[in-house]
Structure 1
Amino acid sequence: MTGALEAVSSRRSWSKVTDAAPTRAELVPLVSAAGRVADHSSLRPWRLIELRGADRDRLGRAINKAEGKDGSSTKPLRAPLLIAVVASYRKSDKIPRWEQEAVASGVAHMLSLLLDDAGWGVLWRTGHYTRSKPVAKAHGLEKNEELLGWLYVGGKPPRTRPSRRKAVDARHHLSRMPREKKGTGDAAS
């Protein structure tokens, strides 16, 4: 296997991580590399927000507010570093909104692969509150932005059991374009 194929094939989500986390200096080159995903017209319709320490408590309060609860959710405390993935839509007559969101999602996925390859445990978390006003306000989102979730990042704990995730049988997901039925083709056929 090539390095990339091996990294992708062995990737898994880490729901439990240790308190270790990459520094900003370690994170910057990974974000730079992740930003090289396919991006029609190079709009770069995304941004990432680091949440460490007290930022996670603030997010916990915003999540509870979005759910109509008092206090602070402990969900953001499950990892020492959260990276908020933000679709930052750009005005374009050529590139639709869905394609810009796909680019932001691609950056998040690429970053999760790079973090995993660098030895960090990563889990992409979402939830109905990602699109709530209190959570958007806590992240300082603009009107042209939407939160797609967070990458929860921390150290990989010692592996106690193998991953339960089975390999994908590509034959069920990869097909050819259907053949054209006789009499429905264009005049050039």
Structure 2
Amino acid sequence: MASAREAALTRRSSSKVTDAAPDDDAIVSLLEAAARVADHASLRPWRVIALRGAARARLGEALAAAAGLEGEHASRLAAKPLRAPLLLAIVAVTTTHPKVPEWEQEASAAGVGHVLSLLLDEAGWGVMWRTGPYTRHPVVARMHGLGEHERLLGWLYVGGRIARPRGDRDASIAAGRFSSLG
């Protein structure tokens, strides 16, 4: 088993994947670990929705409708969710709480999505986080069956990893993004 640091350093987005995908039991098992993210007041302000098969096509139709597109442009946008056999919608489920503002609840939900992507990658699956301008559009929310206090954060596109070199990333990324106040 890789360390958390090793998993983070070796993770790469997989823009192309095969038709293989983890089953629901495997996803639930990984979510048991991902659910351990920071969660002020233990609100569990998230849920994950698996989209497979025809649900991906319905999402594509919802995206095209949200964009107001028709014809070839609509078809191109509608085909995007078909790029992976499994899409995991990461949803923030917020509640009014005196100590935990909504932004913090959304951050916790995003943390679950990120840790889940690391765990999927470590398990050998190809994963890519995707969002877009229609992620929070009402048509897209209805397609997912979201409630009044639920907001879609994006999708993890998941499939079989295509063998590829996992080259080194620039090790100096953090140097320009870190400061220390004394």
Partner of 1:127: 132
Matched, 1:170 2:148: no
Using the aligned pairs only, state the percent identity.
58
RMSD: 1.5
CA distance in 1, matches of 2:14, 2:51: 18
CA distance in 2, matches of 1:168, 1:110: 22
- Aligned-residue offset at 1:170: 2.7
Question: For each residue in 1:94-114, what CA deviation from the matched residue of structure 2 results, as whole angstroms up to 9, or x when unmatched?
Answer: 100110010000000000000
Matched, 1:99 2:104: yes
Map 1:44-59 to 2 at 5 A: 44-59=44-59
Question: For each residue in 1:60-113, what CA deviation from the matched residue of structure 2 results, as whole angstroms up to 9, or x when unmatched?
Answer: 110000011245510000000000010110120110011001000000000000
CA distance in 1, matches of 2:40, 2:111: 12
CA distance in 2, matches of 1:37, 1:47: 13
Partner of 1:20: 20
Q: 1:165 to 1:78 in 2, by over 3 A?
A: farther
CA distance in 2, matches of 1:165, 1:130: 29
- Aligned-residue offset at 1:158: 1.7
Max Rg structure = 1
Count of residues in correspondence between the two structures: 176
CA distance in 1, matches of 2:32, 2:137: 29
TM-score (norm 2): 0.92
CA distance in 1, matches of 2:120, 2:139: 29
Partner of 1:156: 161
SS at match of 1:69: coil
Q: Which runs of 5+ in 1 are unaligned?
A: 179-189
TM-score (norm 1): 0.88
Tell me, yes or no, if the aligned pair for 2:10 and 2:166 is still in contact at 8 Å.
Answer: no
SS at match of 1:103: helix
CA distance in 2, matches of 1:169, 1:88: 32
CA distance in 1, matches of 2:83, 2:96: 36
Structure having the higher helix fraction is 2
CA distance in 1, matches of 2:53, 2:17: 15
